[in-house]
Structure 1
Amino acid sequence: MDLIDKAVSILMHDGLVVYPTETVYGLGADAFSDEAILHVYEAKQRPISMPVSIAVSDFEMLCAVAHVRPGMQDFIQAFLPGPVTVILPARNSVPAILTGGTGLIGIRIPSHERALELIERFDAPITATSANLHGSKEPQTPDECTVPRELLIDGGRLPGIPSTVVDLAERRIIRKGAEAGKVEQYLSSL
């Protein structure tokens, strides 16, 4: 069994997997399992009222979990896959705990080969929160991944700049991170 198969098996049993992205290490769990999502909150010691983003492998999977309104698709196609998280209206299939009661869900399509392979083989969204305790530094290296987990997929040293978070309904940046300048320029041209 290769490493990705092992990771998929862990995800299928509500376990936690740390995986590399093009920004920082992420903490992955089955985004449709309430039990797995609770494990993420516990592992990170994160307040349950705070939303958790998810990662998908392609635009089709993104549309299965979020409502993409006219005009949003162009932005998504311009920046994803990549180091940008888009906030969109969540579909009913998304567990309410992930939205923090907002009805909105943060979604990434990572451009890191191992992250995409993991999501594709799992064939469903996974959580996409950083693999650190709530409030501490985002992990760039495996040693900095301080959360309990069943498996870590080593991607070496990562850039360490978190994704830029964009609320597409409001057309505004929530958190500046990787590619923030390009995102600002794109939004100002609308």
Structure 2
Amino acid sequence: MKWLRKKRVLLLLFIGFTAILFLSTNWMSWFYPIHYKDEIRKHSITYDIDPFLVASIIRVETNFKTGRESKKGAIGLMQLMPDTAKWALEKAKLPDASMEELKHEPSANIELGTWYLSTLSRQFEGKRTAIIAAYNAGPGKVQKWLDEGIWDGTDATIKDIPFGETRHYVQRVNYYYDQYTDIYNEF
């Protein structure tokens, strides 16, 4: 009988401890962590981009793991294509960075990717869904879809994005964006 009573007490203590832990912390952040917050915050402020959008794109692209290279050749945390990276380095007038540096150095990759998102934001007038689609499919394709009326660039019509990969990409980035903005009060 004493043995059973001890187990009940231990169970109640465990449940109480767990409840306090969940109520006193932002426990959902354990499932949706954001790494490189300082770099994301710094470059988001510099280029006037929502830091949650940057974090969401990084989460979908590489899950915050550096040194990644896609089958198509995209590099780094934000999976920038080498041609896009070279173009962005020229246009942004950023310090010259090698492709190897962009692949392995989080801050350089986040800065270049955030600058690129800023240019897409200006091109697509801040419409987040169109910006995300352009980041994946390229701004020329997205502009063509908008001009030809294939897609109107809104959340409500994501199903009309003609490329399945881009449609799925936009849905995933939007999902993480919603999670991050719900979980984190500020960046």
TM-score by length of 1: 0.25
More helix by share: 2
- Larger Rg, first or second structure (1 or 2): 2
Greater RCO, CA 8 A, separation 6+? 1
More strand by share: 1
